[in-house]
Amino acid sequence: MTDRYSDTGGGEDPGQKSLQSRTLGSGWCALQRGQKGKYIKHVAPARSLFTSPCLQKPQQSGSTKSAVTLRTRLLVSVAIGGAAVGTWYYLRREKEEKKKLDRIKQLQNMAVGQGDFNLLDHHGRPCSKKDFRGSWVLMYFGFTHCPDICPDELQKLCSAVSLLEKEPTVPSVLPVFVSVDPERDNVEALAKYVSEFHPRLKGLTGTPDQVKAVAQAYRVYYNAGPPDEDNDYIVDHTIIIYLVNPDGLFTDYYNRNKTDQEIAESVKKHMKTYKSIFS
């Protein structure tokens, strides 16, 4: 009996095709007669039966990945930079607060401006420390016969007051000049002298004992030098401008190196942080 599917067989099975194929998805599988009548099986890869190309996750391109990485790095850099700036600001503020507290403690230990005083103003009216209660005061000690330093310092003091007067929200500051030369600086001499600097500048004088008492209260050194042939003399004294708050308490001081602008700015800062001990 002849094998109808053998190598030597020349016919085909009537129930079969020479090429039998079956498709699966987009792939295919087939039996094909090759050389010498042998059948060769061909298989092509098929798409998954369960996954549609539309449902497959698209692959990210290299440029997209680079953009995401760059954005992440930028966000991390910004976060680190913000934290660094915040830390720096906090430490700086802590340092400034500590410096301020140390200065307040230093000023308190100086015990400047303690007690009351009784003098005469340039109008001849009695004046005491209580008369300045409720006002900010910039005070300077000097003498009317001073050739240069006193006029310069008084001019600077009054200029600082004028700068503060230009700001309507800033409380008024009273400029005060206390003479340490009671022998020559009487009421009349004071009235003429203070009128050359500022319309609100208040001049104060008194007896030698009264002047000595107020000078000691503010730690002011003064000493009259020997008179010359014209009976003129120079008074050596401390060159300091004092700031007194509305409670009558010494708050700060300014030496010759401070400008009028610096004094005005310092006064404004003290005003912002001021809290009355009587409230």
Instruction: Give pLDDT tens digits for 59-82.
Output: 555 566 676 677 787 788 787 877
39-43, 93-97, 205-209: which is most confident: 205-209
pLDDT at 89: 74
Average pLDDT over residues 153-165: 98
Comma-separated ranges of CATH 3.40.30.10 domains in the chain: 118-271
Q: Which CATH class is domain 118-271?
A: alpha beta
54 is annotated as contributing to ligand binding:
no
Task: With 0.75 as the threshold, say if the pTM is over it.
Answer: no
d(CA 52, CA 227): 115
Lowest mean pLDDT among 89-93, 125-129, 138-142, 179-183: 89-93
pLDDT at 82: 78
Average pLDDT over residues 196-221: 96
| 25, pLDDT greater than 90 | no
237 is annotated as contributing to ligand binding:
yes
**Which one has a higher pLDDT value, 112 or 34?**
112
150 is annotated as contributing to ligand binding:
yes
Of 124, 212, 135, whose CA–CA distance to 176 is shortest?
Answer: 135
Task: Give 3-state DSSP helix, strand, coil % of the chain, rounded to 5.
Answer: 40, 20, 40
pLDDT at 18: 43
